[in-house]
Amino acid sequence: IFLVARSFDINRPGTKIENLKGGVLGGVLKKGKLKIGDEIEIKPGLSLKKSNNQSYQTLNTKILSLHKGMKSVKDVEPGVSISIETSLDPFLTKADSLTSCLVSTKNNLPEITYNLKVKYKLFDEVLGTSEHQKIEALKIKEMLMLNVNTTITVGVVEKIDKDKKEIELTLNIPVVALKKDNVGIARNLDRHWRLIGWGEIIQ
C-alpha cells in the first residue's frame, strides 16, 4: 500500500513525444513491496465531474521506474519516501491531481466508500488552542473533518454508540477504507478545525 502525497508531470515544455516520461507519484510505501514492472491500481483515482455529479475512476497502470531521492532502485520496502514513474499520461498526474490516492498491486484495494464506521477516542481538551477547552460529546448530524491516510474528508455523524465508542459517518469525499487504519478527528470550533480525537476504522 503506497500513500500518494504528490503527483506531477516531470516533462519540460517542448519535450519530444518519444522522450516523454510517464506520470510520477510521490509518497510513502506503508506496507508490502513494489518493484519495477508491477501492474498497479490507483484509487479513488481520477475525479470526474458531470453536471453536479462527482464520480471517480480507478486508474490501472504499470511501474516504469522507482526512485529513492535521486537514486534509481529496482524495488522498495515499507517506510521509505519514494517516487514512482508510471505509464500514465503525465496530464493525469500534473499539479497534484492524484494526491490523497492509494496505490497497490492490482485487485488488492477495496472499493471506495462514502460511509465509515469508526471506533473513536476523544481527547480531554481541544488541541491547538491557548485555552483549556473541554471537548463535548459527539452529536448526531454533526460535521467532522477526518484525516484518513493522506485523504482529508468531511463526514456527517449518522449513528453513535456511546457504550462501544463507535460512530458511523457519511462522507463528502470518498476514501479507500482499510480496517484498523487510524483516523484523525477534528471539529469546527470558532471557524477553525481543531483536533479533538482519533479513531480506528472498523468498517
What does the domain layout of the chain look like in residue ranges? 2-105, 113-201
Fold observed for domain 2-105: Elongation Factor Tu (Ef-tu); domain 3 (2.40.30)
pLDDT of residue 127: 79
**pTM for this one?**
0.87
Q: Which residues of the chain have pLDDT under 70?
A: none
The residue count of the chain comes to: 203
- Predicted local confidence at residue 61, as pLDDT: 98
Residue the block writes with cell 468531511 = 154
Q: What pLDDT shows up at residue 98?
A: 95
The domains spanning 2-105 and 113-201 adopt the same CATH topology: yes
- Strand 102-105 with 75-76, pairing: unpaired
* Distance separating alpha carbons of residues 8 and 94, to the nearest angstrom: 4
Fold (CATH) for 113-201 = Elongation Factor Tu (Ef-tu); domain 3 (2.40.30)
Quick one: pLDDT at residue 36?
Answer: 97
Look up residue 125 and give its DSSP letter.
Answer: B
Contact 157, 145 (CB under 8 A): no
